[in-house]
Amino acid sequence: MEDGTEEALLDKINRKLQDPALINSSSRRIFMVPNPLREINEKAYDPLVISIGPYHYGKKHLKAMEVQKMKSLKSILDRGRENSVDKYVMALKEMEEEIRRFYSENLDHIDRQDLVEMMLLDGFFIIDFISSTNELTDFHRRNVMRDLLLVENQLPFSVLSTLHSLSMDQRGLNRDVKDIFVEAVIICFNGMVPALPIIERPRNQGIMKPPPPSEVRARDLDAKDMLGFLHDNVIRTSRRRVRSATASSPWWRRCLAWASRLPFAHRLPCLAPVRTPPRDRPVKCSASAEEPEWAPAGIYELRKWRFICSATELNEAGIKFQKKEGKLFDIEFQNGVMSIPTLIIDDYTESIFRNIVAYEQYDVGVISQPFTDYITFMDCLINTGKDVGLLCRCGVLDNWLGDHEVVATMFNRLRDSVLISAVRFHYSEIFIGVNKHCDREWNQWKANLRHNYFNTPWASISVIAAVILLLLTVLQSVYSVLAYHHPR
């Protein structure tokens, strides 16, 4: 009896070890958003109008777009003067195992035919959408673009690239067809993804015709899905700035940055990530700031930088804010002036940031986290609607939502359950410079004066009136003394 029970247990464990979800799991990138992030704002991770891939397939409110997917397939076949999908179906069947491995969830409930049909319709819809030849309105297009940027609404990039290559007439092309495709993706999402490089294309030119050459090359990228491709392209175009910042850092910091990328780095306190400070425990601009309770042991001494105060508090300390031209992450601080590129806040901003940050936090292949660092930076600047109003007046924010408090709440919640690196934080040098500015006695005195005596127009008037009254009192006293010693 015991032997039979033991054999049954071994068989059970061995069967579990053969689960496809455990095989090559380190290379899988299309995952479900973990509960700690999803619980904060579930709607930000769910599609509005279209399902792509298996995770949201079949939901009632998304079924209307299934007709549009079929229209896209027919449109591409008509442009290529084809009347059969045989070659595409055969190619996708050969990729079936590869496709299943791309998803972190088990897809055994989807049979081969349904999976191939899903990849075919979803893939050609995306290709047709990128080509700008479909009949969607501008509003509907933006909803679709928003849905195509969701972590859970992705296709393997290899599926898109394969379908596009097979559908193109490559005769007479002097460029790699994959380069043409990746450029078309960037052009499609221009203005939708913050910090994405701008590539212009003549009006009404679809991806069946090559867009103008750029620096983007498919061979330079190792994207697993569209969201990952766009994220990696942002990093690639920002690499020069990041490298120059790293090169100017001390040798020990460069060594720690390299060591923090090792697989076991999270087990070492000195290389552990740092949680952003809780909203009810703000970090003050003070030279005597103590190590916060939320910081891992020893990390506070190692990282050599502290979180900065809100925009209003920094402004009271004499720091000015101004907008600058350039990419979103190119923030500068010099001579008491912080220069920040303008960020437009609209109905899609939170969803886009949340999904890109989720990708940075949980994808095993991500090393650099520019979006996570950026929202941490902005969360430090923004505590209340008053901070948002200040940044809007300076041109740093362009608030299309209207309500400053809504924007403040959005940034405050964006960094919940989010980790940043202690030694690879993009804005550490800026934080050091800002805190040095705040730690100067004159600036602390000036900030205290502004906060306590010049925080409102009426308070300023009262202080000025008190000063005038004091001067008049002094003059009266001097006059009385002079009159006593020099009577007429």
What confidence tens digit (pLDDT) does each residue in 315-326 have? 988 899 999 998
pLDDT at residue 467, as a whole number: 76
Spell out the alpha helix ranges (H) of 86-207. 86-94, 96-102, 112-130, 138-148, 157-167, 177-188
Strands 320-324 and 332-334: unpaired
The two three-digit tokens of residue 484, written as one number: 């006593």
Mean pLDDT of the chain: 79
State yes or no: pLDDT of 246 exceeds 60: no
- 103 in helix, strand or coil? strand
What is the per-residue pLDDT across 173-202, written as a single tens digit (0 to 9) for each?
Answer: 667 777 888 888 888 898 888 887 665 554
The dihedral formed by the CA atoms of 426, 428, 429 and 430, expressed in degrees to the nearest 10 = 90
Distances (CA, A) of 263 to 246, 266, 363: 21, 7, 13
List for the chain the helix, strand, coil content (%; round to 5): 55, 5, 40
Q: How many CB atoms lie within 10 A of CB 380?
A: 24
The two three-digit tokens of residue 402, written as one number: 């209207």
State yes or no: pLDDT of 243 exceeds 90: no
State yes or no: pLDDT of 208 exceeds 50: no
Backbone angles phi, psi at 419, to 5 degrees: -110, 145
- For residue 216, give the DSSP letter: -
pLDDT at residue 239, as a whole number: 52
First to last CA, the chain: 126
pLDDT at residue 116, as a whole number: 97
pLDDT at residue 240, as a whole number: 41
Q: How far apart are alpha carbons 314 and 296 in whole angstroms?
A: 27
Least confident of 6-10, 21-25, 243-247, 480-484: 243-247
- For residue 343, give the DSSP letter: E
pLDDT at residue 292, as a whole number: 42
Q: The pTM is what?
A: 0.77
What is the per-residue pLDDT across 87-106, written as a single tens digit (0 to 9) for each?
Answer: 999 999 999 999 999 999 99
